[in-house]
Structure 1
Amino acid sequence: MNDSAIRASLAEFEARLQLKVRRPLAQWVEALETVRTRFPELERLRTRLEQRTQKVLAEEVKSEKAARKRA
């Protein structure tokens, strides 16, 4: 194998490495950082939703008890 063939192979290898490994890995890292940044906000929203759900369920129980008393 001559020097130019080795250089061509190396260039092709580096191009494939960039396309198939480095770029997807960089995209994954970027997505992970987005999740890490947004996670606290999402957790606060989940907690608020859970609290509201519990309040609604408690009000439903009260309403059912009041309806039974009236009946």
Structure 2
Amino acid sequence: MTQTTEYTVTGMTCGHCESAVRTEVSKIAGVETVAVDAASGSLVIGSTAPLSDVDVLAAVDEAGYEAARA
């Protein structure tokens, strides 16, 4: 069963930003789907198990942005 977790990401302005966040978040174990929208600042993750907010925030930080749980 897929669980959905939503975050708000600040600082994204374009498709490259979305791609950077998507790439880093996809590396987290258990992540099945990643939907990123720069215009709304949304990040929606589908996973097979509950995700650690610390892992997600670190991945977004690695991409160069800041996130918070929505």
TM exceeding 0.5: no
Name the structure where helix makes up a greater proportion of residues.
1
Shorter-chain TM-score: which interval?
Answer: under 0.3
Larger RCO of the pair (alpha carbons < 8 Å, separation 6+)? 2
Compute the TM-score of the two structures, normalised by the length of structure 2.
0.25
Name the structure where strand makes up a greater proportion of residues.
2
